[in-house]
Each structure stands twice: as C-alpha cells, then as structure tokens.
Amino acid sequence: MLNKVEICGVNTSKLPVLKNEEMKSLFKSMREGNKEARDKLIQGNLRLVLSVIQRFSNRGEYVDDLFQVGCIGLIKAIDNFDLNQNVRFSTYAVPMIIGEIRRYLRDNNPVRVSRSLRDIAYKALQVREKLVCDNSSEPTIAQIAEELKIPREEVVFALDAIQEPVSLFEPIYNDGGDPILVMDQISDEKNTDDTWLEEIAIKEAMKKLNDRERHIVALRFFGGKTQMEVAEEIGISQAQVSRLEKAALKQLRKNI
C-alpha cells in the first residue's frame, strides 16, 4: 500500500502542495462561488488524505477505497472550514478525514452493532467534530454527553460498541527487537498451570493403556468419532468398543 504511486487514477507523486497564502486566497475565492478554486483546494490537499490512510494500512482494506472515502472527508472539511477560526486547515481536516474512514470501516465491520447504538455514536462523533471546530481542543465525554443531553455512560457505551476489532497480532510496542503484540498483554485463563499439569497427567496415563485401548480413546475423544465409526475402522463390534472404552477410561481415572 505504502509503495503504491497511482491511486484511483491519481499520480500521488505529482500532487501539488499549496502554501498558506494560496490556501487563504482559494478559500476566499471559493466562498464567492468560484468552483475552480474549490477543485484546486481539493487537489492541493490530497496529500493530507494520503498521510491519513497510511494509519489504516494494516486493516486489509483496498487503498483505492480508503483514498476515495478519505477524499469525501477532505471535501466536507473544505466545504465547512471557517477562515475566521484561528486554526490551520490541516488541523481541522485531518480529524474529519479520519472520522470518515472510521465510519466506512465501522459500516463494513463484520461485528454488527444495533442501529440505536450506532446512531448515538455517530451523533457523539458529530458533536465532537463541532466542539473541536468551535474550541480548537478535544472535548471530554462529559461535554459531548451534555451537548446530546444523554447520560455520560450511554456515550461511552456507544463509542465502545463501534470500535473496530483489533488483531491479536497487532504490534503495540517495538524497541528495536521483537515487537510486543496485543496477545502478549492478554491473560490466558484456560492455559493455566493446573491445565498443563492435567494434560501431562493424561499423556502419562495414556501410555499405560494397551495399544487397542489407546487407539480407541484417541479416536473417540481426540478424533471425535462415534463408537460405530470406531468399530468399523478397527474391525470389531460396537459392543466391544463400548466395553474397551469403559475399561480404558476406568484405567485412565485410576492412573491420573
């Protein structure tokens, strides 16, 4: 993704870069109805979209799709940017581009969230963008909840519900050696010391069974076969399988 030069028919290596004074002039011209100025603003800020989509390079999404969605966020930012606010355009546009891409990823997420929760979450994100624009600072959850006139807990729950799933193999820290992954920070309640000891005990007890008993136990409890299937495989009756299985289990319990 990072080495791709042409995205959606756009040669990203030749994208123009606008200076601050050019941006102001184009914004003023656009506000007066000049469509060409708007097009130049979009073209001159596509590098912002490129910088944002690099953050989502590990999601497995097509870069062309992310670029197009990011451009929608950029256009919204251009159409809503207020020159009178004492904030750089990139500071205003980047969160809007990120928000648009995150909405796209959430809508295409295999984990389904109820419509009511999504509605609350989207309203919270819209309020957040408005407060960032008005105050040039990140609002608190309490401020967002107050603006929406709903309990703070509902906002937290809704925003948590629409978070994208994180891969267990996603690196969270790297000091130059082997990276620390998400799975390294998660406790395992199944593979405890007691479980390991139990597995060792079962293996040792299995060794004390005769070959036929060991084969039947392996097929039944590790291979998931029925007594009838085991009987057909080893060439004896189901009654014999049942008798040998019971004897083997009794012996296993005794040895464990």
pLDDT in tens, 204-225: 888 888 998 989 988 888 888 8
Instruction: Provide the greatest CA pair distance for the chain.
Output: 92
pLDDT in tens, 76-133: 999 988 888 778 888 888 888 998 888 888 777 665 667 787 788 888 888 998 888 8
pLDDT of residue 8: 66
1-108, what's its fold?
Answer: Four Helix Bundle (Hemerythrin (Met), subunit A) (1.20.120)
Q: How far is CA 191 from CA 111, 195, 197, 218, 223, in A?
A: 27, 6, 10, 21, 21
Query: What is the domain partition of the chain in residue ranges?
Result: 1-108, 109-166, 193-255
Which residues pair with residue 181 across a beta bridge? 171
pLDDT of residue 1: 44
On the question of a common fold for 109-166 and 193-255, the answer reads: yes
**Of 103, 141, 138, whose CA–CA distance to 122 is shortest?**
103
Contact 42, 75 (CB under 8 A): yes
Q: Choose the CATH number for 109-166 among 1.10.10.10, 1.10.3720.10, 3.90.1150.10, 3.40.640.10.
A: 1.10.10.10
Residues 82 and 40: their CA atoms lie apart, in Å, by 17
Q: How would you classify the pairing of strands 171-173 and 6-7?
A: unpaired
Sign of torsion over alpha carbons 164, 168, 169, 170:
positive
Nearest-5° angle of CA 90, CA 94, CA 99?
Answer: 155
Q: Radius of gyration (Cα) for the chain, nearest Å?
A: 30
User: Region 20-35: what's the mean pLDDT?
Assistant: 88
Q: Is pLDDT at 238 greater than 60 in this prediction?
A: yes
Which helix or strand (DSSP H or E) is residue 171 part of? Answer: strand 171-173
pLDDT in tens, 36-84: 989 999 888 888 888 888 888 766 677 888 888 989 999 999 998 888 8
Q: Model-level pTM?
A: 0.45
CATH level 2 (architecture), domain 193-255: Orthogonal Bundle (1.10)
**Of 155, 107, 111, whose CA–CA distance to 131 is shortest?**
155
